[in-house]
Amino acid sequence: MDRGGCQMSGGGGDRSGPDQHGMISLEDLESFTEDQLSDSDNGSLKKDGETTEEYEDRLLHYWQDVARGHQVEVSQDMAEPIQQLTSNNQGRSHREHVPFTLLARKEKCGELLYEKRQYEKGHWACITMHKDTYEQSIAYGFMRIMRYICQQNTIDEYLGMTLPIVTVVRTDENHSVVSHDVIVAYFLPAEHQAQPPQPTDNEIIIELWPATTVYTRAFTGPTNEVTIINQINAMAELLDSPGVYVSGTFIVAGYTNPAHSNRQNEIWFLERP
């Protein structure tokens, strides 16, 4: 990873052919919007007799209610992107997995501790955010990326959802403090990799990230400063070899909406070149 920008970088030779046996399978996860709405009578499906405007307002109000608990405000102009993301992600077939090759798995007494993966090079849309809290930074960054996915781009089309959405985080030398400056990034679907649509938001940057080797471990629950620090330290203890990974820069990979209470995540350590 370029420590001054969005890109990932790490060691590892050229490898091809994504391996789908990851620690978190898309088939085992709900989509961003499905997860967020699954326990609500608001539901993600449009109701009989409901107009498009009523549907958008219902989804928006639900997102606003959830977001307030995280000190995040969801503005009225998010109504259409939320509705588009919901409608286009009713089925799992609409979501792509960021391609990777599984290199190794570390287990102990039958328990999977972590995996080593090679991620292919590809175009990512990324935005740098700085809010009062880490949770606010990732939430507001994700909403900006949502607008890009949902037609606020040069081809004026819905681009398609890919998972995970990743957040690049930085810590102090002792891994005790997380910077509120974060990078939120979205991997462009395969059909847009050759010619990525440009965002209308001039703070979103399209970058070609190189092939990268990562050490990754799954965890569940909300992502905030405390949980991220705990996960980084737990992973560092498992690896027990600081020389193999980049210190101070890490990635949180999210498979569910940032506001969801049972969020499915991974912590990624970048292999040192």
CA distance 145 to 106: 34
Which stretches of 55-204 are assigned E, i.e. beta strand? Answer: 95-97, 100-108, 111-119, 122-130, 161-163, 165-170, 181-187
**128-172 pLDDT, tens per residue?**
999 888 888 888 898 899 899 998 999 999 999 899 999 999 999
What domains are defined for the chain?
95-271 (3.20.80.10)
According to the per-residue pLDDT averaged within each range, which of 19-23, 30-34, 43-47, 195-199 is highest?
195-199
**42-81 pLDDT, tens per residue?**
455 666 667 777 777 777 777 777 677 667 777 777 777 7
Q: Whole-prediction pTM value? A: 0.76
Q: How long, in residues, is the chain?
A: 273
Lowest mean pLDDT among 36-40, 144-148, 265-269: 36-40
CA distance 33 to 162: 13
Average pLDDT, the chain: 79
Span 222-228, average pLDDT: 87
**DSSP β-ladder status, 95-97 and 161-163:** parallel
